[in-house]
């Protein structure tokens, strides 16, 4: 079976970059604090856009945002913001850029005291929730857990972390396994 012949979740559209992301990242449990921060930034950037757009801009974002290093992002000043606003390799939305800077500062405050991974994964008792979805239409946009995590992240000071964004983040980082039945990565 070739890579293109595999049965996947329908949202990939059988687009190579989406297939690669689906096959190698989406839904795989992620516990690394810095990688979780990267996904939080990417999911925040995605708000109102397609994930395909984000994947196409991901390398540009990685470069422009100093490899998603929160210590560096937290120090961005007006000159850096203007530089980012003129960079066509990234999502040039001032509010999202400001949110990334803000979120880096909040992330650093949290990780000074505790692991970001431990904080996030505590919402799912430190193990992935299996979605048991039959088809893509069965996948919700939010859940009570994403509602609570979103609300709590906002209380901590994070921006662009609405419940829909957080549910997508939970799926991407494997906190929720929403591979549909029939997908070659679905597991009972």
Nearest in space to 10 (alpha carbons), one of 187, 183, 156: 183
pLDDT in tens, 5-58: 789 999 999 899 999 999 999 999 999 999 999 999 999 999 999 999 999 999
Instruction: Tell me if residue 11 is catalytic.
Output: no
DSSP letter at 157 equals T
Do you know the residue count of the chain? 188
- H-type alpha helices, 6-67: 16-24, 33-46, 51-64
Determine contact, residues 27/174, Cβ cutoff 8 Å. Answer: yes
| E strands present in the chain | 129-130, 176-177
Query: Of residues 11, 26, 38, 43, which has the active-site annotation?
Result: 43
Q: Which residues pair with 130 in a beta bridge?
A: 177
Query: Of residues 26, 38, 51, 76, which has the active-site annotation?
Result: 51
User: Where residue 1 falls among pLDDT bands split at 50, 70, 90?
Assistant: very low
Instruction: Tell me if residue 132 is catalytic.
Output: no
Which domains does the chain show, CATH number per domain?
Answer: 28-177 (1.10.340.30)
d(CA 107, CA 112): 8
pLDDT of residue 3: 55
Q: Say yes or no to pLDDT of 4 above 60.
A: no
Instruction: Tell me if residue 43 is catalytic.
Output: yes
Query: Of residues 21, 76, 167, 186, which has the active-site annotation?
Result: 21
115: tokens are 């692991």
143: CB partners within 8 A, 6+ apart: 167, 176
Q: What percent of the chain has a predicted confidence (pLDDT) above 70?
A: 97
């Amino acid at each position: 079976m070739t890579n293109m012949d595999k049965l996947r979740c329908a949202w990939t559209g059988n687009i190579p970059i989406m297939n690669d992301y689906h096959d190698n990242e989406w839904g795989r449990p992620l516990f690394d604090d810095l990688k979780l921060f990267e996904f939080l930034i990417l999911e925040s950037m995605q708000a109102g856009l397609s994930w395909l757009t984000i994947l196409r801009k991901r390398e540009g974002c990685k470069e422009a945002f100093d490899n998603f290093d929160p210590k560096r992002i937290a120090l961005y000043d007006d000159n850096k913001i203007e530089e980012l606003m003129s960079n066509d390799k990234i999502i040039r939305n001032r509010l999202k850029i400001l949110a990334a800077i803000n979120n880096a500062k909040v992330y650093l405050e949290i990780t000074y005291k505790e692991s970001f991974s431990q904080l996030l994964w505590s919402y799912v008792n430190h193990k992935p929730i299996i979605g048991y979805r039959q088809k893509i239409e069965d996948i919700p946009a939010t859940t009570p857990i994403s509602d609570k995590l979103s609300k709590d992240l906002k209380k901590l000071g994070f921006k662009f972390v609405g419940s829909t964004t957080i549910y997508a983040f939970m799926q991407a980082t494997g906190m929720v396994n929403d591979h549909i039945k029939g997908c070659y990565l679905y597991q009972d």
